[in-house]
Structure 1
Amino acid sequence: MADTKVGTAKVGASAVGAVSAGNVTSSDIKVQLSLVKAVGKSGFGIPLILAGGQDQEIPYTECLDLDEVRAVCGVNSVIYTAAALMLAQSTERFKIAVRAVTGKSAEEIPNLLGKDWRQLVVPTEGADGESTVEELSDVVEATDRMYFATVRDLNTVPEAAYSGIQDGQPAQIARDRTVGFYYPQKGVYATAALVGKIAQKQPGTYTCKNLILDNLQPLELDDTMVQSVQDKGCLTFVTKAGDNVTTEGKTIGGEYIDIVDGKDYIIYRIQHDSQKILNQSDKVPYNDNGIAQLEAACVGVMKDCYGDGNLIIATGDDGKPAYTVQYGKLSQTSAAERANRHYSLGRFSFSLLGAIHSADVNGSIII
């Protein structure tokens, strides 16, 4: 089944209510994106390790290796333990962020949204006096980030959907920004390994199923138990064909993790590249030439996300990249928008390139 994304791009201070990715507190570009699932067909941001209920505060600090984490947190902290597992997933250095608070971790998240982190790992989740997985999920689901929870008890997994507001109306919204990793062994923060494995990868080049994780022991689970984990919207870590790998790579809400990543990456890129045009021009004229500059930024992102190792956008039945970009002409804008220097007629859509997660192979024996 193919997934089609439909989005809009807006320019100007009066654009509100959009979903965006990254540190966007000072951006003039807002991008909205909805997911439309067709029937019948088939490393951006950095990880943040946040610990609540600690004896002393540690300010938000970005680190490039375990030595830098040790200098900030010491070797006896849960942050250091999680960071060691996270950084062990690559032979190359990559940036992570750490933060410790004396209060609850969920209460600190809003204060950190101006920072450039994307994947949240909370090694203290569920501890006495600390935020629960559900409390952390409720906060993150209202943002453009993702929360990776290590689940010790399947009974603590929040429901796949939560009550919220969508398109101005009350709705049940899927928890597509929360990932549950079932790993009951205390003191081992399994999601740190998963995040470490994917944080350095370009969106579109990976899925979260069958990932080999280092320095993490597989669980001995039978098929029934693995299915119970997946029925709760979680993944886990088992042995297949002699390799220790993750099971199905979905969010608690049921969406594939790589789909959320691909969507967020395209939003971020359109926003970033369009903002660069505003930053680097003395003036972007409100005429067809100025609109064409913004359209070119969007087209450039689509091209970058297709082919040559950029595996977010699929190929259509006609053999061409499966995306469209259409920005309305000046004659289609309203007098009010022109007076407010606001443009809202940018439109784009694209089909996501899927992945093979399983296969049936039929054969016969000739005697």
Structure 2
Amino acid sequence: MVTTINSVTPYDHPMDVNVVMTVLHPQPIKDLGNILLLNATSADPKAGGTLSDTLNSTDILNGLLLRKTDKTTGSIYREYKNLDAVAVDYKEGTPVYKKASAYFAQSNHSDRIAVLDYNKSKAYEALKAFWYFNWTFAICVDNTIDDSTVNLSSIFEVNKDHFLVLQTDNISQYTQFNGQNYTIGLSHDLDEPMDAAFVGAIATRPVGAVTWKFKNLVGITAQNLTTQELAGINNVHAIAYEEMMGRGQTSEGTTLSGEYIDLLHGVLWVQTTAQAKLEKMLQENGKIPYESKGIAMIGAVLTEVMNKAYEMGIIMTDDATGRAMFTVTTTPREQQSQKHLSERFYDGASFEYHASSAIHTITVNGTVDSDTVLAA
């Protein structure tokens, strides 16, 4: 942010009308749709000597937004504002550049892309260092699926707050990921980075307002799939980019467990938003009294989050009442244990909601009245 030093007053403007102009700049996107490219190597990334976490003027002019090195693993995390910025560190034609190019070709890409260079043998420690940076969806620069990929998927599954997107041209490889809620499997020719396009086209669109099926991917060739081929892809809960009625579209919108991505993305939104709102409540009040007033404040924050989730399309409408299908419950002080009262710990708040769904297939029954009399 540029700081302007004002040591003098402005001149008087001798006019009857004075128009005051304010320039509004876009806010950096910190959302649940940002992407991380996982660039695994067989050795610790080489920083060319000492690589400072502080960006210099050249870095900034080149479009580098953030650089951070994890001293424990040697992993390097970077955020870039556009494809030209990526090209400074990863030349045109390199695997990272190709993924980034496909990502920025989509109309709904974010204002940044992140890349993590790390030693494949230190994946757990490297991801741990940068897990809570500004990204939610990760793709692999190298689409080879092996034991390290299974371990990578397990990291996402146990944390349940980020998504790993894989791509292969051999769907039999996905059988080892059966049941993984937070791993998404794409079926496509490896010559085209469908994974980067998939995230760029859909992930930053409003959570709750979009299903991941039927979506167009710029620069990705749609496949003409036979019924058997599509059935095989669907059986492992993978997603293809298929030709449908003369237009390319994503064939489904599920993770490899069969759960729908939009539902899990909505769960993540509710979780992170509730955490952020409650933390803000704790920070901005002198104290939250451990009595009915303070407990009511907690309930009010959760109700606010649920109502917003309903507006976004994350929560279903009850057809009988026309209202959102959620409940928020808080238990009073007297129901808390003496231990919790002593530790100033409250765990009497809970909520439940019915996730909104979407229509993915349609069957219509038609009847035609004919004047033709057929022979008996």
For this pair of structures, how many residues does the alignment match?
A: 309
The aligned counterpart of 1:273 is: 277
Match of 1:195 among 174, 195, 199: 199
Q: How far is 1:131 from its partner?
A: 5.8
Query: Is the counterpart of residue 291 in structure 1 residue 291 in structure 2?
Result: no
Indicate the RMSD between aligned Cα atoms, in angstroms: 2.1
Question: Contact 1:104–1:131 (CA<8 Å) still a contact in 2?
Answer: no
Change (3 A) 1:303 1:148: same
The aligned counterpart of 2:365 is: 362
Query: Is the counterpart of residue 116 in structure 1 residue 116 in structure 2?
Result: no
SS in 1 for 2:99: helix
Change (3 A) 1:212 1:324: same
Partner AA of 2:41 in structure 1: G
Query: Is the counterpart of residue 82 in structure 1 residue 99 in structure 2?
Result: yes
The aligned counterpart of 1:247 is: 251
SS in 2 for 1:255: coil
Matches of 2:142 and 2:103, distance apart in 1:
16
Q: How far is 1:74 from its partner?
A: 2.6
Question: Contact 1:133–1:157 (CA<8 Å) still a contact in 2?
Answer: no
Greater fraction of residues in strand: 1
Query: Is the counterpart of residue 48 in structure 1 residue 65 in structure 2?
Result: no
Q: Which has the larger radius of gyration?
A: 2
The aligned counterpart of 1:60 is: 77
Partner AA of 1:194 in structure 2: F
Matches of 1:279 and 1:66, distance apart in 2:
38
Match of 1:232 among 216, 236, 250: 236
Match of 1:177 among 179, 182, 187: 182
Query: Is the counterpart of residue 138 in structure 1 residue 154 in structure 2?
Result: yes
Change (3 A) 1:243 1:132: farther
Percentage of identical aligned residues = 25
Match of 2:354 among 342, 351, 354: 351
Match of 1:205 among 190, 205, 209: 209
Matches of 1:44 and 1:295, distance apart in 2:
24
Question: Contact 1:50–1:121 (CA<8 Å) still a contact in 2?
Answer: yes
Q: How far is 1:91 from its partner?
A: 6.2
The aligned counterpart of 2:313 is: 311
Matches of 2:147 and 2:280, distance apart in 1:
38
The aligned counterpart of 1:223 is: 227
Matches of 2:321 and 2:190, distance apart in 1:
52
Partner AA of 2:315 in structure 1: I
Question: Contact 1:178–1:252 (CA<8 Å) still a contact in 2?
Answer: yes
SS in 2 for 1:254: coil
The aligned counterpart of 1:6 is: none
The aligned counterpart of 1:334 is: 337
Matches of 2:229 and 2:120, distance apart in 1:
35
SS in 2 for 1:101: strand
Question: Contact 1:50–1:105 (CA<8 Å) still a contact in 2?
Answer: no
Partner AA of 2:211 in structure 1: T
Greater RCO (CA < 8 Å, at least 6 residues apart):
1
Q: How far is 1:83 from its partner?
A: 1.1
Partner AA of 2:157 in structure 1: E
Matches of 2:270 and 2:339, distance apart in 1:
29
Matches of 2:122 and 2:143, distance apart in 1:
8
Matches of 1:93 and 1:250, distance apart in 2:
22
Matches of 1:257 and 1:86, distance apart in 2:
19
Change (3 A) 1:45 1:222: closer
The aligned counterpart of 1:324 is: 327
Question: Contact 2:108–2:205 (CA<8 Å) still a contact in 1?
Answer: no
Unaligned runs of 5+ in 2: 1-29, 47-74, 371-376
Matches of 1:224 and 1:286, distance apart in 2:
61
Partner AA of 1:120 in structure 2: A
Change (3 A) 1:92 1:225: closer
SS in 1 for 2:152: helix
SS in 1 for 2:300: helix
Query: Is the counterpart of residue 101 in structure 1 residue 103 in structure 2?
Result: no
User: TM-score w.r.t. structure 2 length?
Assistant: 0.77
Matches of 1:68 and 1:298, distance apart in 2:
40
User: TM-score w.r.t. structure 1 length?
Assistant: 0.79
Q: How far is 1:102 from its partner?
A: 4.1
Unaligned runs of 5+ in 1: 1-22, 24-42, 162-173
Q: How far is 1:105 from its partner?
A: 7.2
Matches of 1:248 and 1:146, distance apart in 2:
16
SS in 2 for 1:110: helix
Per-residue deviation, residues 214-244 of structure 1 (Å, max 9, x unmatched): 1100122211101101111201011111110
Question: Contact 2:120–2:148 (CA<8 Å) still a contact in 1?
Answer: no
Greater fraction of residues in helix: 2
